[in-house]
Structure 1
């Protein structure tokens, strides 16, 4: 006896063989949790774009010696407060023919008869050839590999090359911004890593055990959150001796920001632990003789790891803004360290800002980075719950 295939079976077969004879697409119900999260994340186009932007920013920070045209300490007193040199890809020669090739225009200078200051102006007749992977200042990549190849720069290293202008000492703003990317972005990652460890451990202990332990940890959190942030930063930063090296100051500033930023994550973790500690799977593990730390590490923390990732992504911008604010106010990193906040100190003077608005470039990068991280965090937060 033969039976005709049912309509449900035909529908299922049609769903399983979509778009082509040999291509078989698995039903959505067969996708793993990771696949569902990735599909949900890719639907958020702004988050995907932000991920690309953040990846490029961190790549610039990692390979800053190679990307920067010059050393951050290089200066030329003959080219102070220069306006940015636009990068051009072709020019018209004397015969009217279009010639292709990367270059920037040089400068002509004259004395202002009123102030006797040297005034620079771009000269279209002076062309400085620019190339990719050119030789320039020597450096050590990752402080290990000696090299002198730069991503972009003048073919003749002695020629002026200031794509983002120069500051009052004749230093290249672009190179200093690129070097500052490493410190300003890494301080966010390190600070969030420390805050993550403190937040998950203390928040987990507080929510899982409860009782006097919970009360004690919550009072500590409330005390830290009740202290005004700016005076606390100023008091802690003022205790740092001036004679300390920039690396030591960098580590101390990172610790200060981390010890302040773990409280909100700890409260979120505490709430999750309190809601899950009496769930059947936790009770079963406890009755089976599983240790408390194993229950926390294997059964509770993995349950909201995606939420922790989203929270960390949203916490990095706060760390970057904190470092920038401290350095801008002069109570954070100090020269010769190079960060976005240190570079923004050049823009504190109204006169300098009016004459050289390109000194605000680090502030623009802070805005782009913070917005991209926030959009990325929003996408990760939505993707963390793919069934919504």
Structure 2
């Protein structure tokens, strides 16, 4: 025993915070560790997973961007540039002829090639055009409440700024990817909310009640899991009425994705409840007259909520990929709605991709978001595991 420990009072309690960087609590940190709640322990362990923390910051940046897409995008969602169809990406430069000018782009000049029947774009390197910041640009309805023209970044006056090129109608691809993020990222959260609710309901009933209820729920899960996922998505999406508005189609696709993803979560809830329903605190609640609904909602589910959040986080990428796949095949969201899958639908033509490869750029944010969710979900799962 050290001299510092001998001088402590008999009932000394260490209140210093636990260091999450340490592999195991020891000495003066042990009391804070063993007095911490399960949520705090999960947070401490999650902070040690640097890749998961970095992925969480990436996702936070994406979702913070969603409400302000109109302000961030340099062009309006459907603005067309008839003179710049299939224009390649314009590079951003800082120096012109050895002199610092600031962020600028070189304008395009095009000629129509009568041999290939294509537009040949030539960079005019003699006229740098400066990019404007915090400026007035295309008009938009901010959240449908107020007409505004303020943009963080604007194209040069009497010039263009196509950072990722344009599509077949001359629409800026970078702006459309930003607008598409609103739908593609939101559909994952709404879909997992539907899946989460169904999984908790059916998994809770099967795990706590058991008996014939458990058998019925298990057979339902086995039937759904035995069906091929993508063809079932395609069949249900094709059944949506073609005259539905974009909003109804959005909610229809979301409900379809959520209803087909709940079996995995329901099985996780069932297995946890089967292990917890025999614990002493459950018996005590039953003897005190607590209802089954209260026992499940107030005593059982909170004991493994961190595991459920980790499982739900790992399911969101499948929702995003499902919407992207359906929209890519023309069975999901349709124009004028813009999502990453709708943008990739224009890349189905192999000839168009060969001639205009920048049409495949909407796949980049899909890959980044899916990987970020996977890394963050792995970190949450490890942090929520008491034996890890």
CA contact (8 A) 1:237 1:331 kept: yes
Taking the TM superposition and a 5 Å limit, the aligned residue runs for 1:1-388 are 8-9=5-6, 27-31=29-33, 32-33=36-37, 34-92=39-97, 98-156=99-157, 158-385=158-385, 388=388
Paired with 1:330 and 1:17, the residues of 2 have a C-alpha distance of 58
Paired with 2:360 and 2:159, the residues of 1 have a C-alpha distance of 25
Paired with 1:386 and 1:278, the residues of 2 have a C-alpha distance of 19
Deviation (angstroms), 1:116: 3.8
CA contact (8 A) 1:204 1:296 kept: yes
CA contact (8 A) 2:16 2:29 kept: no
Paired with 1:378 and 1:132, the residues of 2 have a C-alpha distance of 39
Higher mean displacement: 180-189 or 220-229: 220-229
Paired with 2:341 and 2:380, the residues of 1 have a C-alpha distance of 28
Cα RMSD, aligned residues only: 2.2
CA separation of 1:204/1:16 partners in 2, compared to 1, >3 Å: closer, same or farther? closer
Paired with 1:80 and 1:313, the residues of 2 have a C-alpha distance of 40
CA contact (8 A) 2:70 2:76 kept: yes
Corresponding residue pairs, total: 373
TM-score scaled to structure 1, two decimals? 0.91
Deviation (angstroms), 1:108: 1.9
TM-score scaled to structure 2, two decimals? 0.91
Q: Which residue of 1 aligns with 2:21?
A: none
Deviation (angstroms), 1:45: 0.7
Paired with 2:75 and 2:16, the residues of 1 have a C-alpha distance of 57
Paired with 1:329 and 1:9, the residues of 2 have a C-alpha distance of 72
Deviation (angstroms), 1:155: 3.9
Can you list the C-alpha shifts for 1:25-68, whole angstroms capped at 9, x where unaligned? 96243142333322211111101110111011112222111111
Paired with 2:29 and 2:144, the residues of 1 have a C-alpha distance of 50
CA separation of 1:26/1:140 partners in 2, compared to 1, >3 Å: closer, same or farther? farther
Higher mean displacement: 75-84 or 224-233: 224-233
Can you list the C-alpha shifts for 1:253-306, whole angstroms capped at 9, x where unaligned? 111111101110001000111111111111111111111111111110000010
Deviation (angstroms), 1:90: 2.7
Deviation (angstroms), 1:315: 0.6
CA contact (8 A) 1:107 1:126 kept: no
Deviation (angstroms), 1:113: 4.2
Give SS of 1:236's match. Answer: helix
Deviation (angstroms), 1:143: 1.7
CA separation of 1:373/1:170 partners in 2, compared to 1, >3 Å: closer, same or farther? same
CA contact (8 A) 2:273 2:300 kept: yes
- Which ranges of structure 2 fall in alignment gaps of 5 or more residues? 18-26
Can you list the C-alpha shifts for 1:299-339, whole angstroms capped at 9, x where unaligned? 10000010011011101000000000000011111111100
Give SS of 1:71's match. Answer: coil
Deviation (angstroms), 1:10: 5.6
CA separation of 1:121/1:29 partners in 2, compared to 1, >3 Å: closer, same or farther? farther
Higher mean displacement: 115-124 or 46-55: 115-124
- Which ranges of structure 1 fall in alignment gaps of 5 or more residues? 19-24
